Amino acid sequence: MLDTYREVVTPEGVALHLPAAGPVPRAVAWAIDLCVRMGVLMVAGMILGLLGGMGAGANLIVMFAVYWAYPIVLEALWNGQTVGKKAMSLRVVAADGAPVGWLAAITRNLLRTVDMLPFGYAVGLVSCLVDRHGRRLGDLVAGTLVVHNERERDALPAPANAVLAPPTGLRPAEQAAIVAFGERAPLLTPSRQAELADIVEPLTRARGQAGVLRLYGMANWLLGRR
């Protein structure tokens, strides 16, 4: 697999590709959220500490809210994101790509107590590594998925430095795929361009950067750039 995409087909027959997030960006997002929580608790502790015994009781309520309500409320009301997920361009969605609801947000966060066992999120890490879409146990039970919150980018035209007619006749779907490569490949890294071009080596009869340039040439030819 080139990417860890989860394909979901809607009732209308539209295929959605959800870019599942792995354990590393999720761990970084969790660390950011932990820093936010600790900051809130420190400020609240200093303020409530001035109130004596009443402040101590209120501080316990704040601790409970920060630990449990923080991720649940934000994920349910803020497009499936917490501060950490927002910083890492991640968000939680339902398994079918729909926005996450209250029940799913509550379930996946309550089950963190299981994912943290026996220490350091060991169970959750093993689950993320075993599951093909990087889901921890809380996600599996709640039917949720953490995905990269990708933004739609404008396609760039294929570099008009070569024009090459395909050596064989191509079906409409194959022509569309080559044109799409020519428009989107400039947004990719050279290694990913070569990786994709190597798939159609029987057509380009070249590998690596040479294959990329030939695909660009074919895309230009199909677009009428003579």
pLDDT of residue 1: 41
Length of the chain: 226
**Domain map (residue ranges) of the chain:** 5-148, 153-226
Please name the residue that has the structure tokens 């950490």: 84
Count of other CB atoms within 10 angstroms of residue 146: 28
pLDDT of residue 74: 94
Distance CA(226)–CA(214), nearest Å, equals: 15
Q: 15, 19, 24: which is closest to 4 by C-alpha?
A: 19
214: amino acid identity, one letter: R
pLDDT of residue 151: 62
Per-residue pLDDT of the chain (226 residues; tens, 9 = 90+): 445 677 776 666 666 778 888 889 999 999 999 999 999 999 988 888 888 777 888 888 899 999 999 999 999 999 999 999 999 999 999 988 889 999 999 999 999 989 988 888 899 889 988 888 889 999 999 999 999 886 655 545 556 567 888 888 888 888 888 888 888 888 788 888 889 889 989 888 888 888 888 888 888 888 887 6
Spatial contact of 9 and 136, defined as CB atoms under 8 Å apart: no
Q: What is the pTM of this model?
A: 0.66
Spatial contact of 21 and 7, defined as CB atoms under 8 Å apart: no
Please name the residue that has the structure tokens 């927002």: 86
pLDDT of residue 28: 94
Spatial contact of 207 and 193, defined as CB atoms under 8 Å apart: no
Spatial contact of 6 and 18, defined as CB atoms under 8 Å apart: yes
